[in-house]
Chain A
Amino acid sequence: MGIPFGTDEWIQALHNELNNSDAYRKAAEKWEGDFYFVVDNGDGNPTYLYLDLWHGQSREACFVQDPSEKSPEFILSGPLDTWRKIVEKKLDPIRALMTRQLKLKGNMMKIMKVPKAATELVECCTRIDTEWPE
């Protein structure tokens, strides 16, 4: 059985993959920033996943019930289908942003300074045995 996407267990799995990845650590060595990944499930109840990235490590990762709990620097949101394509490496997140399939709140230029880190983060996602809702 895989880990269901959008759960606390899933973002924890990503946290572990990131902290085990030499490539990610090197690519994001000089970078810091925390995120909400917002998944629009199409039912008016979006899922909020919190991830705090700090100099090549994940410091905290959790499912958030109430989005007012944290105030991350970046909010990345998109429909479930778009997230799935990104996690399965079928869609480059930069291209998803350029075609507005994914929306970002926060300083884009800060993210664009570490393109390799974004790529390695996606690599980590692909290593999670993810289960998707029907």
Chain B
Amino acid sequence: MWFFKVPEFYFGEDALSQLTLLNGKRAFIVTDPGIVQLGFVDKVRELLETAAFQIAVFAEVEPNPSLQTVRRGAQAMLDFQPDWIIGLGGGSSMDAAKAMWILYERPDIQPDAINPFDELGLRQKARLLCIPTTAGTGSEANYGIVLTDTEEKRKLTLGTREATPDMAIVDPFFTAHLPRQITADTGIDVLTHAIEAYTCNWANDFTDGLCLQAARMVFTYLPRAVASGAADMEAREKMANAATIAGMTLGNSQVALAHALGHSAGAIFKEIPHGRITAIFLPLTIEYIGNGNNGRYLDIARAIGIPAEDEATAATLLAQAVRNLLREIGQPTNLHEAGVDKQAFEDALPLMCEHVEVDANTIMSPRIPDMTEIEQLFRYAYHGQTVDF
């Protein structure tokens, strides 16, 4: 037995106009200062006012939102008493909105008690709508929540199926003018989500097709979106959709080893964005899993038009195709290129390996590396070598 849980989606040009049809009285927008500056909050406010909404805005979400921020936002919600929560922004704003909403509904619980096993009984006070302004995290499509406990200096990966947004609006308007670098950093994460969700231990019939479609779309449209930006709105729209499609697979399926490696390296080399650092590990994990004969890469290879005959060649060719795509969109293919200092890397290596070993995503991998192999994977990632073990 398994489940498949996703929001109701509105997507494509003018999807945002759906806001004027929203039923409710009081909307609470969770976002960050950059989104306010871009005028996106005003745009959303305008449409909601057409629908006679009273509106409050919490625009203090920081990158890697903290528990403290979440508690402040939840308090503001308790004061305002909204019936709709709107997460507007990238993964940080949407994740913060999910967590604030949960604490607004259940002020009696602690954020780190948000888990997929206990029933929380949400939606007594409000519903959740997410509007992504980047094309990458896919947080609008699933129940995952990543927060940072700044006091204890640790990342909390939380979630409950009940935190799946009721609705998500995916409008390419928001990503039209996304800077080139952010387009590449967030867009490549879509591919990592799609490939990992297709090959991990939780892969299932309901998510498989979504993974293949998202992977196909990234190979076709990400180079165009990076190269042409707002001049190629078709590519923008397709990438926005691909991000959400891959986002649907997370929680229903999972991400795996590349994310475990990416999380632990990213926690140390904080200046490298999540999508960029995780994608460096993607081709290595494809080769590693392929070498163990544990992959399902032939389907993916065929979906993106790689002429592979069997699993072994599919893994090799797919890893190569990923590296080529990274180069094409100007992303690093190894940690050295990403600006990681050799000595800093050596110093961090034991801790990074330890974190990978206990990361919940590691055991999602169809081939689980031991400590020696984890260290090797990091070393190979430093120079971008082909995995031969």
Which residues of chain A have a CB within 8 Å of any CB of chain B? 26-27, 92, 95, 97-99, 101, 104, 108-109, 112-116, 119
Contacts of B357 in A (CB 8 A): 27, 116
Alpha-carbon distance between A97 and B358 when the two chains are bound, in angstroms: 19
Alpha-carbon distance between A8 and B351 when the two chains are bound, in angstroms: 40
Determine if B1 and A104 form an interchain contact, defined as CB atoms under 8 angstroms apart. no
Determine if B363 and A115 form an interchain contact, defined as CB atoms under 8 angstroms apart. yes
Interface of A is mostly: helix
Contacts of B358 in A (CB 8 A): 113-116
Mask, B96-126, CB within 8 Å of A = 1, is 0000000000000000110111100000000
Q: How many residues of B contact A (CB 8 A)?
A: 20
Determine if B1 and A112 form an interchain contact, defined as CB atoms under 8 angstroms apart. no
Determine if B115 and A108 form an interchain contact, defined as CB atoms under 8 angstroms apart. yes
B202 within 8 Å of A (CB atoms): yes
- Write the nearest CB–CB distance from B30 to chain A, whole angstroms: 24
List B residues 108-154 near A (Cβ within 8 Å). Answer: 112-113, 115-118
Determine if B1 and A101 form an interchain contact, defined as CB atoms under 8 angstroms apart. yes
Number of A-B residue pairs with CB-CB distance less than 8 Å in the complex they form: 38
Closest 5 CB pairs of A and B: A115-B360, A98-B116, A119-B363, A97-B117, A108-B115
Determine if A99 and B3 form an interchain contact, defined as CB atoms under 8 angstroms apart. yes
- A99-B360 CB under 8 A given contacts A104-B117, A109-B115: no
Alpha-carbon distance between A97 and B1 when the two chains are bound, in angstroms: 11
Determine if B2 and A99 form an interchain contact, defined as CB atoms under 8 angstroms apart. yes
* Closest residue of B by beta carbon distance from A119: B363
Contacts of A97 in B (CB 8 A): 116-117
B93 within 8 Å of A (CB atoms): no
Contacts of A26 in B (CB 8 A): 371
* Closest residue of A by beta carbon distance from B112: A109
Among A95, A104, A115, which residue has its beta carbon within 8 angstroms of that of B2?
Answer: A95
* Closest residue of B by beta carbon distance from A117: B358
List B residues 346-373 near A (Cβ within 8 Å). Answer: 357-360, 362-363, 368, 371
- Write the nearest CB–CB distance from A80 to chain B, whole angstroms: 16
Determine if B363 and A116 form an interchain contact, defined as CB atoms under 8 angstroms apart. yes
- A108-B117 CB under 8 A given contacts A92-B201, A115-B363, A116-B358: yes
* Closest residue of A by beta carbon distance from B357: A116
